[in-house]
C-alpha cells in the first residue's frame, strides 16, 4: 500500500521569464508505517515534493501513484485515494474558517462523506489526540484560541479525516518549545497507534533525528540522500555539509565522546539515550 | 493555479521602451488613446496598428504575450462587434433575415469599435508589461503632483496604489495556499450550482480576509515604526529624469495625433 513517485519533474511558471525547475527526476516509494523526514534548505523543493503526494500539484513529467492508482486523473477512485493522504500545511492555523472548533474539524470528515455520528466520533478522537478537551473547546470560536491551540485545531482537522498517510510541512514553525514538544508527542502517539505513514518536512536535523526512521535529503530539486538517519549522519557527513546542512549537535557530541574513548552506540538519536550511555560509561548507574 | 494571469504583469527587459521614463510612457498611452478617438478611415487605423506593432517590436516583448492580454476581454470585443453589426442604421443592407439585418455601416462601425478596444488593450498592456508597478506609481505620483494645490492627495494615492499592487501577488499566493489546504481537506470549489458554489467559497474567503487584515495591520505597524508620516518633506532615492529619448518619444506621439487630426479634418481645412 505505498505511494510511489516515478521520475517526477515539476516546473513552476513554465514558459514565462520566471520559469523555475523545482523537481528533477524524483523517484521514491513511501510505505505505510514509515516515518519519513524530508529535509533540505529553503527553496530545495521539499514543499513542492510533498504537494505531489496528494495530487495538489500535478507533475510536469513522470507519475505519482497511490496503491498503484495514478492520481493525476479524475474520478471517484482518484478522489478517494487523495483523501487517504492528509496534509498539514505550514502555518495550518491560517486555514481555519468555521465558527466553532467542532465545525472546523468536522469540515474534512464531512467532505469525505462520513455520517454525522461518525463525524462526531472522529472529531472527538482527533481532539483527544491533539490534547484539546472536547467539552471545553468544541463549541468555542477557533479565533479566540492561542496560536498553539489554533495549530492543534488545524492538525486535528486533518487527523479527523483518518488518513493512511499524514504529511506535515514544518508543523513546529513559529511555536514555542513547549507547544512544539507537545505537538510532536501527539504526532508520535498517533503514528504509533494508527501505524500510518508520516512524512515530516523540516529544516531541523534535530527533529529529523529524533522522530524519523527514514531521512530524505533534498537539494536542487533532487533526492540526494535516502536512508536511515543514523546511516546518513555517519557516512554522508560531507554531502550534508556540501548542501549547507549539518549533522545534529547530539551526533557531533556523540562523535566527540567516541573519539575520546567513551562507548557510544552509533544509532544514538535522542538526548535521553545518550545520557543513559554516558551514565553507564561513567559507572553512575 | 492562479499565477498565470497575463494582464497587468511586468515582463522584465532592457529595451528602449523599458528604459523610457514612466511619465513619458503614461503620457504616450494617454495621447495614444486621444489619437485612437481621432482616427477615422482605414488609413488612420492602419497607421495606429503600425505604431502599436512598432512599439511591440522596440520593446522586444514576445508578440504572443502581448496578444494574450486581449484574451480576458474577448467576450466584450465580440459582443461590441455583434451588437453594432445588428443595430447599426444604414442604407446598404448586406444581409437580412426576418427582423435581423446587417448593414454595411453597422459592420464598419462594429469593426471600428472592436479595433479601438483592441488597440486600447494593447497599448495599456504594453505599458504594464514594460514598466514595473513601483516605477509606474512613481510616474503617476509625479504626474499628479501639480494638481496637489487643487487638493489631489498625489502622494497618498500613489502610496495606496503601490501597496495594493505590492500585495496582489502576495494575496494570490495566499489564495493558492489556502485553496490547496482546503482541497486537501476535501473542499470542492468547482462543482455544484451557483448557490452551492458561493457557499463552498466560504472556507477560502474567510481565512483570506482574516489574513488580509492581519497583513494590513502588520504593515501599518511596520510603516509607523519607520516613522512614515505621509508625503510631506519626503525625498526619494531614484529621482525621475527626462532624457533625450523621452522627448523623442513624446514628439512621435504628438506627430501621430497631428496626423490623425489632419486625416480627419484636413480636407475641410483645404476647402477653407
Is it the case that residue A279 has pLDDT exceeding 50? yes
Q: Are A13 and A20 in contact (CB under 8 A)?
A: yes
Report pLDDT for A1.
67
Strand partners, B102: B95
A56 and B184 in contact by Cβ < 8 A? yes
Task: Print burial letters for A28-55: b (CB count within 10 Å at least 16), e (below 16).
Answer: bebeeebbbbbbbeeebbbbbbbbbbbb
- Which residues touch A117 (CB under 8 Å, ≥6 apart)? none
Shortest distance between the Cα of A279 and any Cα of chain B, in A, equals: 47
Say which residue the cell 477615422 belongs to. B40
Chain A nearest C-alpha distance from B70 (Å): 18
Q: Distance between CA A85 and CA A150 in Å, rounded?
A: 21
Residue partners of A81: CB distance under 8 A and separation at least 6: A66, A67, A69, A71
Q: Using alpha carbons, select from B208, B206, B202, B129 the residue that is nearest to residue B167.
A: B208
Q: In what order do the strands lie in the sheet with A35-39?
A: A85-88, A165-169, A197-202, A35-39, A214-219, A222-227
Residues A126/A114, Cβ–Cβ less than 8 Å: no
Domain ranges of chain B: 1-131+242-272, 153-237
Cell representation of residue A94 = 491560517
A86 CA: distance to closest CA in chain B (Å): 7
> Would you call B106 exposed, middle or buried from its count of C-beta atoms within 10 A (0-12, 13-18, 19+)?
buried
The pTM score is 0.72
CATH code of A3-243, in short, is 3.40.50.300
Confidence of residue B18 (pLDDT cuts 50, 70, 90): very high
Binary contact (B185, A143; C-beta < 8 A)? no
- Number of H helices and number of E strands within chain B? 11, 2
Task: Please count the residue pairs, one from chain A and one from chain B, whose beta carbons lie less than 8 angstroms apart.
Answer: 60
The C-alpha cell of A179 is what? Answer: 507547544
Q: What is the pLDDT of residue A158?
A: 93
Find, among A176, A189, A166, the residue nearest to A146 by Cα.
A176
Q: In which band, very low, low, confident or very high, does the pLDDT at B152 lie, cut at 50, 70 and 90? A: confident
pLDDT band with cut points at 50, 70 and 90 for residue B1:
very low
Provide the pLDDT for residue A285: 64
Say if residue B6's pLDDT is above 50: no
User: pLDDT tens across B159-200, in order?
Assistant: 888 888 778 878 888 898 899 899 888 888 877 788 888 888
Distance CA A145, CA B38 (A): 62
Q: What is the mean pLDDT of residues B91-103?
A: 74
The residues spanned by each domain of chain A are: 3-243, 248-285
From chain A, the residues in CB contact with B184 under 8 A are: 54, 56, 82, 85-87, 89, 158
Share of residues in chain B with pLDDT > 90 (%): 37
**Closest chain A residue to the Cα of B6, Cα to Cα:** A16
CA-to-CA dists, residue B182 to A7, A148, A175, B238, B240, angstroms: 28, 20, 22, 43, 46
For residue A112, list chain B residues with Cβ-Cβ distance below 8 A.
186
Count of residues in chain A: 285
Average pLDDT value over all residues in chain A: 87
**pLDDT tens for each residue of B198-239:** 888 899 999 999 999 999 999 999 999 998 887 777 787 878
What's the pLDDT at A40?
Answer: 87
**Backbone region of residue B62 per phi and psi (left: phi > 0; alpha: psi in -120 to 50; beta: other values):** beta
* Cβ within 8 Å, pair B177-A89: yes
Most A CBs within 10 Å: which of B12, B69, B181, as the mutation test of the A interface?
Answer: B181
Evaluate whether A160 touches A108 at the Cβ level (below 8 Å).
yes
Interface of A with B in 30-49 (CB under 8 A): none
Report helix, strand and coil shares of chain A as percent, to nearest 5.
Answer: 45, 20, 35
Query: What are the pLDDT digits (tens) for B49-65?
Result: 999 999 999 999 999 88
- Rounded Cα–Cα distance for residues B266 and B272 (Å): 10
The Cβ-side half-sphere exposure at A194, using a 13 Å CA radius, reads 21
Residue with cell 513529467: A61
What is the percentage of chain B residues whose pLDDT exceeds 70?
Answer: 95
A56 and B202 within 8 Å at the Cβ level: the answer is: no
Q: What is the mean pLDDT of residues A228-256?
A: 84
Cell of A81: 485515494
B226 and chain A in contact, CB less than 8 A:
no
Least confident window among A117-126, B53-62, B100-109: B100-109
For residues B267 and B40, the model is more confident at: B40
Helix (H, G, I), strand (E, B) or coil at A32: coil
H helical segments located in chain A: 46-52, 76-83, 101-111, 116-129, 134-137, 147-159, 177-194, 205-211, 229-235, 237-242, 249-259, 271-281
Residue B269 has pLDDT above 70, yes or no: no
In this structure, what C-alpha cell is assigned to residue A56? 495538489
Q: Do residues A189 and A9 make contact, with C-beta atoms less than 8 angstroms apart? A: no
Q: Which residue did the predictor score with more confidence, A188 or B104?
A: A188
Which residues of chain B have a CB within 8 Å of the CB of A56? 180, 183-184
Identify all chain B residues contacting A157, using CB atoms and an 8 Å cutoff.
185
What is the mean predicted confidence (pLDDT) over B237-246? 88
pLDDT for A155 beyond 70: yes
pLDDT tens, A63-113? Answer: 888 888 888 777 777 888 888 899 999 889 888 999 999 999 999 999 888
For residue B12, give the nearest of A17, A56, A87 by CB distance: A17
- Give the span between the Cα atoms of B89 and B109, in whole angstroms: 10
Could you identify the residue written with the cell 477557533? A142
Mean pLDDT estimate for chain B:
86
Interface test with A, best of B1, B12, B14, B185 (most A CBs within 10 A): B185
Check pLDDT > 70 for residue B7. no
d(CA B14, CA A186): 54
Residue A139 near chain B (CB below 8 Å): no
pLDDT per position as a tens digit, B120-129: 999 999 998 9
Contact B186 A54 (CB under 8 A): no
Q: Do B184 and A158 touch (CB under 8 A)?
A: yes
**Cβ-contact A17, B3 below 8 angstroms:** no
Asked if B181 lies within 8 A of A95 by C-beta distance, the reply is yes
What is the C-alpha to C-alpha distance for residues A163 and A83, in angstroms, rounded to an integer? 7
The mean per-residue pLDDT over the stretch A132-155 comes to: 91
- Segment A166-186 mean pLDDT: 87
8 Å CB contact between A208 and A39: yes
* Nearest chain A residue (CA) to B211: A94
Report the alpha-carbon distance of residue A209 to residue A254 in Å, rounded.
13
Amino acid at each position: 500500500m505505498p505511494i510511489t513517485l516515478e521520475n517526477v519533474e515539476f516546473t513552476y511558471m513554465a514558459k514565462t521569464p520566471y520559469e523555475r525547475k523545482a523537481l528533477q527526476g524524483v523517484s521514491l516509494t513511501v510505505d505505510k508505517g514509515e516515518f519519513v523526514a524530508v529535509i533540505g534548505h529553503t527553496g530545495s523543493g521539499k514543499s513542492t515534493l510533498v504537494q505531489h503526494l496528494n495530487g495538489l500539484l500535478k507533475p510536469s513529467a513522470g507519475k505519482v501513484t497511490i496503491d498503484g492508482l495514478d492520481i493525476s486523473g479524475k474520478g471517484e477512485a482518484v478522489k478517494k485515494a487523495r483523501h487517504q493522504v492528509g496534509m498539514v500545511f505550514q502555518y495550518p492555523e491560517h486555514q481555519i474558517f468555521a465558527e466553532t472548533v467542532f465545525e472546523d474539524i468536522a469540515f474534512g470528515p464531512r467532505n469525505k462523506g462520513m455520517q454525522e455520528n461518525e463525524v462526531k466520533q472522529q472529531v472527538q478522537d482527533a481532539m483527544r489526540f491533539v490534547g484539546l478537551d472536547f467539552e471545553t473547546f468544541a463549541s468555542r470560536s477557533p479565533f479566540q484560541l492561542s496560536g498553539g491551540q489554533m495549530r492543534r485545531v488545524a492538525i486535528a482537522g486533518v487527523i479527523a479525516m483518518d488518513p493512511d498517510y499524514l504529511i506535515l510541512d514544518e508543523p513546529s514553525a513559529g511555536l514555542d518549545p513547549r507547544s512544539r514538544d507537545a505537538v510532536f508527542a501527539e504526532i508520535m502517539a498517533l503514528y504509533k497507534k494508527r501505524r500510518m505513514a508520516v512524512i515530516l518536512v523540516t529544516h531541523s536535523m534535530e527533529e529529523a533525528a529524533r522522530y524519523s526512521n527514514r531521512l530524505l535529503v533534498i537539494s536542487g530539486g533532487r533526492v540526494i540522500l535516502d536512508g536511515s538517519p543514523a546511516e546518513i549522519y555517519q557516512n554522508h557527513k560531507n554531502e550534508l555539509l556540501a548542501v549547507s546542512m549539518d549533522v545534529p549537535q547530539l551526533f557531533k557530541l556523540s562523535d566527540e565522546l567516541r573519539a575520546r574513548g567513551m562507548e557510544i552506540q552509533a544509532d544514538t538519536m535522542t538526548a535521553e539515550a545518550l545520557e543513559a550511555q554516558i551514565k553507564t560509561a561513567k559507572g553512575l548507574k | 493555479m492562479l499565477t498565470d494571469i497575463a494582464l497587468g504583469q511586468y515582463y522584465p527587459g532592457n529595451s528602449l521602451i523599458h528604459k523610457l521614463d514612466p511619465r513619458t510612457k503614461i503620457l504616450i498611452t494617454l495621447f495614444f488613446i486621444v489619437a485612437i478617438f481621432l482616427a477615422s478611415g482605414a488609413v488612420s487605423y492602419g497607421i495606429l496598428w503600425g505604431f502599436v506593432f512598432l512599439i511591440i517590436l522596440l520593446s522586444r516583448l514576445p508578440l504572443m504575450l502581448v496578444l494574450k492580454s486581449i484574451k480576458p476581454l474577448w467576450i466584450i470585443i465580440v459582443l461590441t462587434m455583434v451588437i453594432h453589426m445588428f443595430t447599426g442604421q444604414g442604407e446598404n443592407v448586406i444581409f437580412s433575415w426576418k427582423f435581423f439585418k446587417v448593414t454595411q455601416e453597422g459592420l464598419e462601425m462594429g469593426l471600428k469599435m472592436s479595433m479601438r478596444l483592441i488597440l486600447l488593450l494593447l497599448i495599456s498592456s504594453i505599458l504594464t508589461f514594460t514598466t514595473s508597478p513601483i516605477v509606474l506609481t512613481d510616474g503617476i505620483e509625479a504626474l499628479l503632483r501639480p494638481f496637489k494645490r487643487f487638493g489631489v492627495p498625489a502622494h497618498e494615492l500613489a502610496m495606496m496604489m503601490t501597496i495594493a499592487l505590492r500585495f496582489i501577488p502576495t494575496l494570490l499566493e495566499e489564495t493558492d495556499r489556502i485553496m490547496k489546504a482546503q482541497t486537501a481537506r476535501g473542499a470542492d470549489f468547482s462543482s455544484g450550482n451557483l448557490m452551492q458554489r458561493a457557499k463552498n467559497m466560504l472556507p477560502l474567503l474567510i481565512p483570506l480576509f482574516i489574513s488580509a487584515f492581519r497583513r494590513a495591520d502588520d504593515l501599518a505597524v511596520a510603516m509607523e515604526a519607520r516613522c512614515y508620516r505621509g508625503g510631506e518633506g519626503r525625498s526619494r532615492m531614484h529621482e525621475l529624469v527626462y532624457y533625450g529619448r523621452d522627448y523623442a518619444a513624446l514628439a512621435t506621439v504628438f506627430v501621430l495625433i497631428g496626423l490623425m487630426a489632419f486625416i480627419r479634418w484636413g480636407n475641410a481645412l483645404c476647402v477653407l
